[in-house]
Amino acid sequence: MSKDMNLTLKVWRQKDQASNGKMETYQAKKVSPDMSFLEMLDVVNEDLIQKGQDPIAFDSDCREGICGTCSMVIDGVPHGPQRGTTVCQLHMRHFKDGDTIAIEPWRARPFPVLKDLITNRSALDRIIQAGGYISVSTGNAPAANALPISKKASDEAMDAAACIGCGACVAACKNASAMLFVSAKVGHLGLLPQGQPERDKRVWKMISQMDKEGFGNCTNTYACESVCPKRVSASFIARLNRDYAVAVAKGECDR
């Protein structure tokens, strides 16, 4: 039987966007190594509520590693020490009894802190709204083999589509760049035949919106790739840069 752990948590607490925040210390006692990180925070919050204190605010939804809302920085690493894992799928067995764990929200100007560990990541939604879609009417579903797509293209498109839009790439980047996110969203459509008619317009609009939101530029440190819970490759950024250069050469910015 796994032995329960006692941990010290240093958690960022911030009342609202207009308030200053600070790190506060809490004790997490009798934590099972089989708990997920969010289950551990749930237990801590139950104790705080019983004491009449304000529980730690954090985002979560699916708790299955597919929605990306469980965004927090653990010991300086977005989503924590386990690579290819979201916070909700991170288990306490990756920590040791007696550990002190620092928990903070995403640190990026385009992601303002709403409360404690909750940040406003709607900037990513606005980038998608700017062009991350196919607007043509496709009618009824065609037969599976009516539009041939090579296995290489379909595999790469699926790799890009794995992005869950959590924003860990932004939180890890020293420039708060959203290039990995944008390149994944552009890439999975640009690799498929259905995405070709709007390819140039899509790239121009999404990058323009990214710049308007205040995200920084990519300087190829690959920090984004290293913390991505879905292991989206930074090679998509190179593809995005090429597509952007083509869009500019075609005068898409003047339309």
Domain boundary among 62, 96, 115: 115
Query: Domain span at residue 218?
Result: 122-254
159-185 residue pLDDT tens: 999 999 999 999 999 999 999 999 999
In this structure, the number of other CB atoms found within 10 A of the CB of residue 68 comes to 23
CB proximity list for 173: less than 8 A, separation 6 or greater: 216, 218, 221, 223, 224
Res. 140: pLDDT tops 90: no
Beta bridge partners of 28: 7
* Statement to judge: residues 248 and 128 lie in one domain: yes
Which residues, including other chains, have CB under 8 Å from residue 148's CB and lie 6 or more apart? none
Which of 76, 97, 115 terminates a domain? The answer is 115
Q: Provide the 10 A C-beta neighbour count for residue 139.
A: 6
Q: What is the pLDDT of residue 147?
A: 79
Q: Do 153 and 206 fall into the same domain?
A: yes
Q: Are residues 111 and 226 in the same domain?
A: no
Q: Which of 16-20, 37-41, 137-141, 230-234 has the lowest mean pLDDT?
A: 137-141
Q: Are residues 230 and 171 in the same domain?
A: yes
Token digits of residue 237:
């950024």
Same domain, 130 and 160: yes
First to last CA, the chain: 66
Residue 82's pLDDT is what?
95
With a cut of 80, say whether residue 255 has pLDDT above it: no
Q: pLDDT of 55-112, one tens digit each?
A: 999 999 999 999 999 999 999 999 999 999 999 999 999 999 999 999 999 999 999 9
Q: Are residues 135 and 247 in the same domain?
A: yes
Q: What is the pTM of this model?
A: 0.93
Q: Is the pLDDT of residue 115 over 70?
A: yes
Interatomic CA distance for residues 236 and 234, integer angstroms: 5
Task: Say whether both 130 and 241 belong to one domain.
Answer: yes
User: Environment class of residue 55 by beta-carbon count within 10 Å: exposed (0-12), middle (13-18) or buried (19+)?
Assistant: middle
Distance CA 192, CA 196 (A): 7
Identify the residue whose tokens are 């009824």. 140
Q: What is the CATH number of the domain that holds 107?
A: 3.10.20.30
